[in-house]
Each structure stands twice: as C-alpha cells, then as structure tokens.
C-alpha cells in the first residue's frame, strides 16, 4: 500500500553529496519505508505515514539537515506532478536582481538596492517600491539595458525544470515584478511558454523614470496563476509556484506546491516548503521525477 506522505531529501550537489547517514536519520525520524533513489548522492524519496502527534514538524526536519546543506521537503504522495509552473525571475530563475544590476551601472545602485531589500522583505509596499526605484532611473541612457542583459546568469537547473515539466504536458510561465526587456530573453532561453513583467517607459533612447503599463505586482502574479490553471483545466492544487520575495507570497500560498526558493526571511516565515540549499532541480525531485527522466 502506498504511504500517504513522502519526505524528499535533496543535497546541494555543488558542495557535496547526500550522506547515507542523513538518509538513515531522516527515515527514522519519519518512520519511513525503504528510500527510493531519485539521483545517486543527490536526492531520495522516503515514503512515510501522515504526520501525527509526536511527529517532527517541517521546520524540525529542515533544521536537522541544514548543516549538511540538505533540503527536506515533506509532501503528500498523491498529485505530486504538477500541470502548471509559474516562476519568479530575479533571484529565482536568474542569479541576478536585474533592477539592482541596472542601477549599479547607472550610478544609483545603493539607493535602489536598499529599496529592493525593503520590498522583498515585506517592509515596503511593492508598487510604491517599484515606482520609487524606477524614478531614480529618470534621464538615464536606455542602452544600459543591453549591458545588463549581457551579464545575466541563469540558475543551474532552470532550463531542465522548464523543459522537463513541458515534456510532461505542463504549462510554464515566467511572471516577474521585473521588466519585460529581461523576461523576454530569459523566457526564450529557458523555454517558458509565456512571460509577463513590467514595462519601462523609454523616450528617445532615455529612461523616463516611469512605467509604460500598469504595475505587475503580487496580485497580478496570483491572477496569472489562476488563469493558467483555468486554461489548463486543472485546480490550483495541480500547480507549482516558486519565488523568493514578498511579492511572490500570494502565488506561493495559493499553489498546490509553493516553494520558497532561497527566499527572504519574511517569506520563509510563511511558506512551509522551502529549498534553501539545493538548486532548481529540487523542484523536479519534489514532484517525484527521477534524474533520468529530466529533459535538458
């Protein structure tokens, strides 16, 4: 009989492997069955009973293996593979924070970064923070956008995540509070079905300090998730979202599997399922995909 839950362990493969001793300890903690190896030395599934009185919490499991740089994700066994993926861009699919990088090149990086940090930690309203940061770019040369584009670094595993889910008939979208100038290129590079972001206003090759369209913020991310699920003909329980900042919280809360990915403290306080050590491949392991099923 299939057990109702599974504990997925994923190691940071750049810094080491998943120790057998960690697997054994985890199995004992959750009273689990024989582990299923998803990727040797990187990821395993441990089928286990539903959490009950005296069972370790998700927070306890995370803390138990953090020193090994191993993520522990306690998930229901049913419906693991998702039909919709909605991903944040900055510091999620990308290693970069594109607005901060742009501001650095334009000489206002420190001030913009301070506002970004406050917004991502939930200390400042997203719309107000975005407008304040964009206003600091007024009068700057729009050609600088090309320089930022040249320095973008896509996270390891991003293309694999998108392509594997698409190969299994999922709909994928990159939805960012950043700018369409970047989402267009990143979505194409990874293979997302669609992309959405904010649009910078440019006049005569100069940034106006304004946005050219209504702001895409936290509620818009949620609305795109709901729309995609409806178009795909599935409930929100069959969706996966991932992000790191406060503006991702509505879509992270609503999805069947919302993953706080290397997230800000405010986000980690609210979202139970977290990837704090491993890369984006963990999102596939969380759905039960073995490495040999990955599409790159």
CB atoms within 10 A of CB 122: 18
SS3 assignment, position 275: strand
Report the distance separating Cα 267 and Cα 249, nearest Å: 7
The DSSP secondary structure of 6-73, one letter per residue, reads: EEEEEE-TTT----HHHHHHHHHHHT--S-EEEETTTEEEEEEPPP-TTPPPHHHHHHHHGGGTEEEE
Catalytic entry in 88, 100, 127, 248? 88
- Rounded to 10°, the helix 158-167/180-190 angle is 60
Catalytic entry in 90, 100, 101, 248? 90
What HEC string does 92-137 produce? HHECCCHHHHHHHHHCCHHHHHHHHHHHHCCCCCHHHHHHHHHHCC
Mark whether 71 is an active-site residue: no
Cβ contacts of 139 within 8 Å, gap of 6 or more: 206, 207, 209
* Backbone torsion region of residue 143, taken as left when φ is above 0, otherwise alpha when ψ lies between -120 and 50, otherwise beta: alpha
Burial of 163 (0-12, 13-18, 19+ CB in 10 A): middle
Mark whether 88 is an active-site residue: yes
In this structure, the strands spanning 5-11 and 43-48 are antiparallel
Catalytic residue numbers? 88, 90
């Amino acid at each position: 009989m299939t057990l109702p839950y599974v504990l997925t362990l994923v190691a940071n493969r750049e810094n080491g492997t998943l120790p057998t001793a960690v697997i054994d300890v985890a199995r004992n903690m959750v009273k689990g069955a024989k582990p299923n190896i998803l990727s040797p030395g990187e990821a395993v599934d441990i089928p286990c009973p539903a959490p009950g009185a005296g069972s370790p919490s998700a927070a306890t499991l995370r803390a138990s293996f953090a020193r090994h740089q191993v993520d522990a994700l306690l998930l229901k066994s049913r419906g693991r593979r998702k039909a919709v993926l909605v991903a944040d861009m900055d510091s999620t699919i990308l290693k970069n924070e594109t607005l901060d990088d742009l501001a650095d090149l334009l000489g206002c990086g420190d001030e913009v970064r301070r506002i970004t940090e406050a917004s991502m930690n939930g200390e400042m309203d997203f719309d107000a923070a975005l407008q304040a940061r964009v206003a600091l770019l007024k009068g700057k040369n729009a050609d600088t956008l090309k320089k930022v584009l040249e320095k973008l670094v896509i996270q390891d595993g991003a293309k694999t995540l998108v392509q594997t889910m698409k190969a299994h008939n999922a709909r994928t979208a990159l939805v960012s509070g950043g700018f369409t100038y970047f989402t267009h290129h990143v979505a194409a590079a990874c293979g997302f079905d669609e992309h959405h972001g904010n649009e910078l206003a440019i006049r005569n090759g100069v940034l106006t300090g304004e946005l050219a369209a209504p702001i895409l913020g936290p509620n818009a991310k949620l609305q795109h998730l709901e729309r995609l699920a409806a178009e795909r003909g599935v409930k929100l329980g069959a969706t996966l979202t991932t992000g790191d900042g406060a503006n991702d919280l509505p879509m992270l809360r609503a999805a069947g599997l919302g993953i706080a990915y290397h997230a800000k403290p405010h986000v980690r306080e609210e979202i139970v399922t977290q990837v704090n050590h491993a890369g984006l491949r963990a999102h596939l392991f969380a759905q039960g995909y073995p490495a040999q099923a990955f599409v790159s």
